[in-house]
């Protein structure tokens, strides 16, 4: 007599493991995964300090943003009178320069203003012949 073939349901039941064994295996692997995650996080944040507020430093996974008061503490104050009314932004801190109104601001704002002013000045033409791109023969008539 040939051996009896098992149904798919019987094959599935035999392939299943007892629930207690699955729970034990899951608990063991979860603890290992938690330890690995904790080790990874401790390596990532080991050099972080939670001391005083320092702009640009990463604390608890977030970068500390700059404020105007931080700039006043760290940079010399410069006075100047702008020729244009424009916003000046440095590391997310913005001030408004108003034409003819004297400003007393941290030095990075003055440097930004000077760079903009220098870029707006007409540049001296380089020596030699200048050929403008796109110039060519006239189309045939």
For the chain, what is the largest distance between any 2 Cα atoms, rounded to a whole number of angstroms? 109
Report the range out of 10-14, 28-32, 53-57, 105-109 with the highest average pLDDT.
105-109
What is the Cα–Cα distance from 83 to 127, expressed in whole angstroms?
A: 31
Indicate the pTM of the whole model: 0.53
Q: Is the pLDDT of residue 59 over 80?
A: no
Instruction: Give the Cα-Cα-Cα angle 39, 45, 48 (nearest 5 degrees).
Output: 150
* Domain boundaries defined on the chain: 66-120
Nearest to 89 by CA among 97, 78, 77: 97
pLDDT digits over 73-110, tens only?
999 999 999 998 999 999 989 999 999 999 999 999 99
């Amino acid at each position: 007599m040939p051996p009896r073939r098992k149904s798919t349901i019987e094959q599935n039941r035999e392939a299943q493991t007892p629930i207690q064994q699955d729970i034990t295996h899951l608990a063991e692997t979860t603890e290992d995964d938690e330890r690995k995650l904790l080790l990874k996080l401790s390596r990532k944040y080991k050099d972080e300090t939670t001391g005083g507020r320092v702009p640009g430093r990463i604390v608890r996974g977030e970068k500390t943003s700059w404020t105007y008061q931080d700039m006043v503490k760290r940079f010399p104050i410069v006075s100047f009178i702008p020729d244009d009314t424009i916003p000046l932004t440095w590391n997310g801190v913005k001030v408004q320069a108003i034409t003819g109104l004297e400003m007393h601001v941290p030095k990075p704002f003055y440097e930004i203003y000077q760079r903009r002013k220098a870029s707006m000045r007409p540049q001296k033409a380089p020596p030699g012949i200048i050929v403008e791109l796109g110039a060519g023969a006239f189309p045939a008539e």
